[in-house]
Amino acid sequence: MIPFRETYRDIPLYSPAKKPCRVDLSDNTNLFGAPPSADRVLREEGFLRLARYPAGYAPDLKRAVATYAGVSVENVTTGCGSDDVIDCALRAFLEPGDAVAFPDPTFVMVPMYARLSALKPVPVPLRADHDLDVNGLLATGAKLIYVCTPNNPTGTVASRAAVERLVDSAPGVVLIDQAYVEFTRGGDFLDLARTRPNVLVTRTMSKAFGLAGLRVGWGVGAPSLVAEVEKARGPYKHTALGEAVAVAALTDDVPWMEACAAEAVENRERLRGALKALGLEPLPSEGNFLLVPVPDAPRVGEALRERNVNVRVFEGLTGVGDALRIGCGPWPMMASALKALKEVL
């Protein structure tokens, strides 16, 4: 018998099952595609970068993030997607057996990463108004509290008052996942990451920036906090190509990204209206997706896939029940989803 790790025995492999569909609205990526600079960097520099290791700890990427985010390089850590930054932060700040508190529902990888590091996931239901239950989160005593705003999968946002009270009273680190912040009106917490000693904000190149295939994410916090995450991270988390493309996107493609995000938001609201006309009640969203409560979501999701439309299915979400999460992008894709939904419901 090979002595496998006991605590891993009951942990399932997380596999976002994907049947290829012509219209894939299941992963909240930028449905307009990848940024224009990526094509240039890959053609002009791609081959040249392959034979040698990238520079350790991604100094070029950190400089580009620092400029973009208006912070200094010492405030920045980066990782293989923002889920890697989250995973590194859990390992950096907690000992095995410690609790990680987070709102429920939220990003499914958080309890998963907690268990993989022998931490105790402690879900705290979101309030009925979709804001954070600050007292409930604090009552867990967790040394790391994760919050996500806009939240995946609900799309709802945490109020600034709630986040500030959490940060003021938390016994340890507050990790604020802002993977979808580019789609919000305000709602950006980088100022807290700059000024508070216990806040780490994570962001990603996977969503609004259209680079999910690259696996590049970043975090901003006080230098002392960032230094701990860097220990957990190790030197080589990016490919040299990924780093070069992400640097170009942050430097040259911000207007492109903003235009895509604005159109995704406009189409999200148009889709909301059309779904309401079908008698559905999407949650108020500030992400590039809508969560739509639908009875028997697995059946509906399968029927949509048969019509070549893939959306993310959730069963029994706390406070919501069964639901579909529909990514928003170019209107023709939304129209395909609507047409298929009308046939299925």
Cα gap 297→112, rounded to integer Å: 23
Its sign, for the CA torsion 233, 237, 242, 245, is positive
Can you say whether residue 186 is alpha, beta or left, with left for phi > 0 and alpha for psi between -120 and 50 degrees?
Answer: left
Can you say whether residue 96 is alpha, beta or left, with left for phi > 0 and alpha for psi between -120 and 50 degrees?
Answer: beta
Cα gap 299→320, rounded to integer Å: 17
Q: Are the C-beta atoms of residues 219 and 202 closer than 8 Å to each other?
A: yes
Among 55, 212, 320, 335, binds ligand PMP (CB under 6 A): 212
Residue 286 binds ligand PMP (CB under 6 A): no
Nearest distance from residue 108's CB to ligand PMP, in Å?
Answer: 8
Among 206, 285, 310, 336, binds ligand PMP (CB under 6 A): 206
Residue 107 binds ligand PMP (CB under 6 A): yes
Residue 83 binds ligand PMP (CB under 6 A): yes
Residue 317 binds ligand PMP (CB under 6 A): no
Q: Which is nearer to ligand PMP, 85 or 225 (CB)?
A: 85
Nearest distance from residue 202's CB to ligand PMP, in Å?
Answer: 7
Q: Residue 171 is which amino acid?
A: P
Residue 78 binds ligand PMP (CB under 6 A): no
Stretch 120-149: interaction string toward ligand PMP, x if CB under 6 A: ----------------------------x-
Cα gap 175→46, rounded to integer Å: 34
Stretch 230-269: interaction string toward ligand PMP, x if CB under 6 A: ----------------------------------------
State yes or no: cis peptide before 293, omega within 30 of 0.
Answer: no
Q: Residue 342 is which amino acid?
A: K
In 10 A of CB 57, how many CB atoms? Answer: 16
Q: Which residue is nearest to ligand PMP (CB)?
A: 81
Instruction: By CB under 6 A, name the binding residues for ligand PMP.
Output: 28, 81-83, 107, 148, 152, 177, 179, 204, 206, 212, 217
